[in-house]
A = this chain, B = another copy of it.
């Protein structure tokens, strides 16, 4: 793992721990185990580290989804696949932090918009192939609902997959 990669990993951790606006260059350097000046050697600015770390984490956690989704044949299976993938991605608060930060950073907004569009397209394609009505709208709402569930789960662990899946499954009918 290069120093650059360690800095990006540290950024992903610290965004979740401290919040997007409270991550400093010295925190990043300390977490990565390097001197404080190295951040501006590898990156243009502190926000640039956060943006690259967040978009990378988003893309990584969604990279395997299309293949996984291909194994699902019924709506309940598809929802289970998606929820499992998001569970394993871990640190789901990073998603929410990144969305909020994207409302204040144009570069990040574009990157997040691209990832979200791809996620929606993956879901919508599966829905259309399995005769779910209004696949685009359903995919858009499902993506938003999943984000909301991940956020609420951070405050209320009782919002388990077993509780969520049957209810969200109704939108796929």
Contacts and interface: CB of A to CB of B under 8 A. Distances in A.
Interface of A: 17-22, 93, 96-97, 99-104, 109, 112-113, 116, 134, 137-138, 140-149, 151-156, 158-159, 163-164, 166-168, 170-171, 173
A167 B19 contact: no
Most chain-B Cβ atoms within 10 A of its Cβ — which of A156, A164, A167?
Answer: A167
A137 B166 contact: yes
For chain A, what secondary structure do more than half of its interface residues adopt (helix, strand, loop), or is it mixed? helix
Given A99-B152, A141-B159, 13 more contacts: A18-B21, A96-B100, A99-B151, A99-B155, A112-B155, A134-B166, A140-B158, A141-B163, A144-B149, A144-B164, A145-B145, A147-B151, A167-B171
Given A134-B166, A145-B149, A147-B152, A159 B140 contact: yes
